[in-house]
Structure 1
Amino acid sequence: MPFLPPITSLHTLPDPSLKHVLDLLFEPSPPLHALTLPVLRSTTFPSYSTLIAAISAQLQALAKSGSPGDIAKLSEILCSHPRLGEKKVETVSEQSRKEQAQLNEGKEEERKELERLNGEYERCFPGLRYVVFVNGRSRPAIFENMKARIARNDIKAEREEALQAMCDIAADRAAKLDKSDNSSL
C-alpha cells in the first residue's frame, strides 16, 4: 500500500518524490506537476488538507482566468482522471482502480449506459472528462448525476464541479494514505 511522506518534509523532497505525492493524491498529470511544484518547493503545509486547498486555489484561478491557455491546461489536468467505468486504462492510478471497482462490475446494459453517458458528456463539454467523487455511490446515482450535469449544459459550472470533485477525491486519498497526519484532515 502506498503512503504519503510527512507533510512537513515535502518542501525538502526531490522533484520525482513530489510528483509521486501529487500522483497519489490526484492522477498523474505533467501540467499539474508544473503548476504545483513551485508552491510545494516554497511552502511548508501543516496538513495534507491544507496542501489540497492550496492546489484547489491554483486550479480555481486557472478556471477563473478564462484565458485559452489556462483553460487548456485545466482541461488537461481534469482529463488525467480516467473515464468512469473504463476497464482498460494504462495510466490510471491504483487508487482510481480501487475507487471505480464497483462501477466495473454489474450488468452489461449498465456498463453500456455508462459508456453512452461518458460519450454524451464529452460531446456536451468538449475537452473535459466527467469527474465525480464516487465514494460508494451506485451506478444509478452516478447516472443521475451525469444526466443532471449534462442537462445543466454550463461549462463554467462544470469546470467548478469537476475541480471540486477532483479535490474531494484527493482529500479522501490523503486520509487513507497519510498514516502520520490523519488527525489534521
Structure 2
Amino acid sequence: MEPLPSLEVIKLDEAPLAFTLATLFEPSSVLSQKLVPQLHEKLKSSPSPPTSYGELIGLAIDQVRTWNVDLQAKFISGHPRIGETKNLSMLSAKEQGANSDRPTVQPTPPKVLARLAHLNAYYERCYPKLVYIVFVNGRSRAEIVRVLEDHLGLAHSLSIDEPALETADPVDVGSQKWLDELERAVRDVGLIAKSRLIALNVA
C-alpha cells in the first residue's frame, strides 16, 4: 500500500490530503467534495497545523461534526457495511477479517454473513438514513453479530430472516435517539481511522 504523504506535504496541497483522508476514512463523494476542501483551508490558515496523523483525524472528525445531519450520515455511509466481502479496500478487508495479521477477509460461515446482512437491513429500518458503523477492534464477524443484536435489543440467533424487517420500529430522523446514534457512528469512524495508523505503521 502506498505510504501516507508527510504532514508538511498534506498542508500544501489538496491532492495528498485527499489521498490521506480517503485511506483513513474510505473514499466517498462527501469526503472529496466537502471535507477535503474545508480541511485544506483550515490547515492553510492554521498557525499550529497538526503534528501527527492522529491530530489530523481529530480535526477531520471535528469538521464533520459541524455539518448538518444529512451530510454526516453520508460521511459514515462511505464505510462498507459490516459483513460485506466485495469491493473492500485493503484496510477494510483486514479489519473485517478474523485474523488481523492477514490483509484479506478470512472465511466467515455463510450463516454468519447472512445474519449480518439481515441485521444490517433491520438496523437501517430502525435508523433511517444511517448504516451501522462500529469499531471492530479485532473482533470477528460472529462476535459483531452479537454486538449488533445487543445494540438492537434482539435475541442472539443465526436466523437469516428473523425478526421480520417489517417489525422494526423506525426512530424518527432528527430525534435525540437518532442523533445519539449518528454521533456514536461518527465517533467510531474516528476510532477506525486511528486504528488504521497502526496498520500503516504511522501511529
TM-score class, shorter-chain normalisation, is 0.7 to 0.9
Please give the residue correspondences for 1:34-113 in structure 2 after superposition, counting only pairs within 5 Å: 34-43=34-43, 44-62=49-67, 70-89=68-87, 92-102=88-98, 105-113=107-115
Whether the 8 Å CA contact 2:17–2:36 is kept in 1: the answer is: no
Whether the 8 Å CA contact 2:96–2:141 is kept in 1: the answer is: no
2: CA distance, partners of 1:104 / 1:75: 29
Counterpart AA for 1:6 = S
The yes-or-no answer on 1:172 pairing with 2:183 is no
**Matching residue of 1:2:** 2
- Which has the larger share of helix? 1
1: CA distance, partners of 2:139 / 2:75: 24
Give the Å deviation of 1:178.
4.9
Counterpart AA for 1:166 = V
Normalising by structure 2, we get a TM-score of 0.75
After TM superposition, the structure 1 stretch with the greater mean CA deviation from structure 2, 111-120 or 27-36, is 27-36
Give the Å deviation of 1:51.
0.8
1: CA distance, partners of 2:182 / 2:16: 28
Q: Aligned Cα RMSD in Å? A: 2.1
Give the Å deviation of 1:28.
0.3
The structure showing larger relative contact order (alpha-carbon pairs under 8 Å, at least 6 residues apart) is 1
Whether the 8 Å CA contact 2:83–2:141 is kept in 1: the answer is: no
**Matching residue of 2:118:** 116
1:44-101 per-residue CA deviation (whole Å, 9 max, x = no partner) reads: 2111111111111122223xxxxxxx22111111111111111223xx3221122112
Give the Å deviation of 1:104.
5.5
1: CA distance, partners of 2:201 / 2:37: 20
After TM superposition, the structure 1 stretch with the greater mean CA deviation from structure 2, 131-140 or 95-104, is 95-104
**Matching residue of 1:142:** 144
Higher Rg: 2
Normalising by structure 1, we get a TM-score of 0.82
Seq. identity, %: 32
